[in-house]
Amino acid sequence: MQFIMDCLNVNENGNLEMSGCDLVKIAKEFGTPAYVVDDATIRNNCKKYNDSIKKYYDGNGRAIYASKALSCKYMYKLVNEEGFGIDVVSGGELYAALSAGFPADKIYFHGNNKTPDELKYALENNIGRIMVDNALELSRINEIAGELKIKANIIIRITPGIDASTHDFIKTGQIDSKFGAVLETGEADDLVALAVKAENVCIKGFHCHIGSQIFDLEPFEHAAEVMMNFIGDVKEKYGIITDELDLGGGFGIRYTEDDNPSDLGEYMNAVSKVVKRVAKERDVKLPFIIVEPGRSMVAEAGLTLYSVGTIKNIPNIRTYVSIDGGMTDNPRYILYQSRYTAVSAENPLAPQDKTVTIAGKCCESGDLIGKDMPLNDVKVGEIIAILSTGAYNYSMSSNYNRVPRPPIIMIKDGKPTVAVRRETYDDMLKCDMF
Ligand code: LLP
């Protein structure tokens, strides 16, 4: 049996297993809901990124993990062991990374509105690069770096004007975006001019990120072309030779069988070709390439185990299967109407001949995992798995309705380890002052 997550199998007990660990046993031992994540799959993804940069770009680049996809100390340690850098987008992510011992010089700090405190925290810790989003931010960085008597190494974020085909909320490359300096309007050029004059910054390169969950290669190639031409323009106009080109993340993954992402090697090959061609055409130095994968690093490495609590059949309308989690551990349906695959951990081979709506337990009608999804004839108490929840689930979870967050159970060397423990009621009250 082939599941959309490669690390899944059916074991001799007929249960779903992840890299040799019985998921029904895990549900019994650690309780539900629980995120279960496969360490080996993530390491394998790191290897794929590292190898493809070696193969198609002579190793002249670096993959940095966009840690917003799944931020926990275990992950920072894992990707560090695999030679990755990281992208952080808040003081909180930066704090988590530094607490996990992540080397500061391989940290890249993103965001459209980093606060002065966050910028100071980053600069005091000498992190690798600060991605500059806009002119106001540039002046803040310049000022704080001056106060600290250091030079901030910056990468300027450009909005290249590329409208990739994905959900509106996760598009970022088009002109109408809160992120980055727009190319077409001249804002990008103005920002470079300001950065050239700013005394306490050093322009290391340029960045773009066109969006997330993108399957086609064409928008990535287009972005690389636009960015390389911009580097050429900057060289001609300002005589500045920058070393680094950060092409962002956005690589799509499989949530259901209908999803068909391109091969990672093909992506790197296609993008490298464009960069090399335009470098020649514009007579600019081949840049050190940075890619920032988030979702594609962890999504297909993780699933969420739930117990079925109630089943409500409304004849000729809908069957609701309610589980013991929902939008608090996975808000992606309520935010993006995202689609997922459900499999019974106890009966993974049973025919999926029912159409059900999997509902969460919050007081919110939109609190669903998915509408009209195929599933087997599940019973109350059955353990079900929602696949490909490794990215943007734990990291976007909340305590709405005072629901505690599930633990993250990592499967490593055939054994489960608690990477993040389950939240308690007391944890949720720890900031209450009365
Ligand atoms: N770099 C930058 C500057 C980004 O903004 C992002 C994602 C990434 C890299 C990583 O992109 P990825 O490889 O994961 O596609 N919460 C949404 C996704 C938001 C993505 C935000 N930025 C979701 O659940 O679909």
Percent of all residues in the chain with a pLDDT value above 90, rounded to a whole number: 95
Residue having the nearest C-alpha atom to atom 15 of ligand 1: 250
Domain boundaries, the chain: 8-38+299-428, 110-293
Q: Is the pTM value of this prediction over 0.95?
A: yes
Indicate the pLDDT class of residue 170, thresholds 50, 70 and 90.
Answer: low
Indicate the pLDDT class of residue 359, thresholds 50, 70 and 90.
Answer: very high
- 212 C-alpha to ligand 1 centroid (Å): 5
288-329 residue pLDDT tens? 999 999 999 999 999 999 999 999 999 999 999 999 999 999
Is 70 exceeded by the pLDDT of residue 171? no
- Name the region of 218 (left: φ>0; alpha: ψ -120 to 50; beta: rest): alpha
Rounded Cα gap, residues 133 and 234, in angstroms = 17
145-162 residue pLDDT tens? 999 999 999 999 999 988
Could you tell which of 292, 337, 395 is best to mutate to test the pocket of ligand 1, judged by most ligand atoms within 8 Å of the CB? Answer: 292
Whether 363 is catalytic is yes
Rounded Cα gap, residues 272 and 372, in angstroms = 41
- 421 C-alpha to ligand 1 centroid (Å): 25
What pLDDT, on the 0 to 100 scale, is given for residue 174?
76
Residue having the nearest C-alpha atom to atom 24 of ligand 1: 392
What does the chain come to in residues? 434
Candidates 21, 46, 363, 431; catalytic one: 363
Tell me if 251 CB under 6 Å of ligand 1. yes
Spatial contact of 387 and 341, defined as CB atoms under 8 Å apart: yes
- 295 C-alpha to ligand 1 centroid (Å): 7
Rounded Cα gap, residues 223 and 209, in angstroms = 8
Mean pLDDT of the chain: 96
Residue having the nearest C-alpha atom to atom 9 of ligand 1: 249
Tell me if 392 CB under 6 Å of ligand 1. yes
Q: Locate tokens 């589980």: which residue?
A: 323
Spatial contact of 406 and 388, defined as CB atoms under 8 Å apart: no
Report, at the CATH architecture level, how domain 8-38+299-428 is classified. Beta Barrel (2.40)
- 80 C-alpha to ligand 1 centroid (Å): 20
What b/e readout covers 367-399, taking b as 16+ CB neighbours within 10 angstroms?
bbbbeebebbebeeebbbbbbbbbbbbbbbbee
Rounded Cα gap, residues 279 and 58, in angstroms = 15
- 249 C-alpha to ligand 1 centroid (Å): 7
Indicate the pLDDT class of residue 163, thresholds 50, 70 and 90.
Answer: confident
Tell me if 212 CB under 6 Å of ligand 1. yes
Q: What is the dihedral of CA 412, 414, 420, 421, to 10 degrees?
A: -160
Tell me if 405 CB under 6 Å of ligand 1. no
Q: Which CATH number does 110-293 carry?
A: 3.20.20.10
Could you tell which of 68, 298, 304, 369 is best to mutate to test the pocket of ligand 1, judged by most ligand atoms within 8 Å of the CB? Answer: 68
- 294 C-alpha to ligand 1 centroid (Å): 6
Which two three-digit tokens encode residue 106?
A: 């391989």
Residue having the nearest C-alpha atom to atom 23 of ligand 1: 392
